[in-house]
Amino acid sequence: MEPELQRAIAQIKPNERDDVAKEFLDRFKKRGIKERDLEQQLGLSTHNTRHMTADDVSKLAGFLYHNHPDVFQEVLADQPALVKFFSNPLIGAALGAIAAKWIGKHK
């Protein structure tokens, strides 16, 4: 999953990548996870979204994907810059499987 995600994020314009990173950090904050903690835990170059690299945003996305797949899907749905990411059938299938698994746990 991460290589595809990394490629998708690398193709996003820097200002749109900033928006995606802000959205990720806002979602983390709502779950009580601090930006500085993420910076240290994930080895980010910064916690400032304006200065994050594509690799930093990919690390945030990967962490969210593996630990909070429901929130990951919400962020992707809210960010038009990542719509291209969904166009890959393998990614769509993977996200569908995650959604089904998550929904199954919460019935």
Residue from 67, 69, 71, 75 nearest 8 by CA: 75
Say whether 92 sits in a helix, a strand or coil. helix
Q: Which two tokens stand for residue 13?
A: 């314009």
Q: How confident is the model at residue 101 (pLDDT cuts 50, 70, 90)?
A: low
- Per-residue pLDDT at 74: 81
Q: Which two tokens stand for residue 52?
A: 């994050």
- Per-residue pLDDT at 79: 66
CB 75 within 8 A of CB 20: yes
Tens-place pLDDT, residues 20-74: 889 889 988 988 989 999 999 999 999 999 999 989 988 988 888 888 888 887 8
For residue 11, the one-letter residue type is: Q
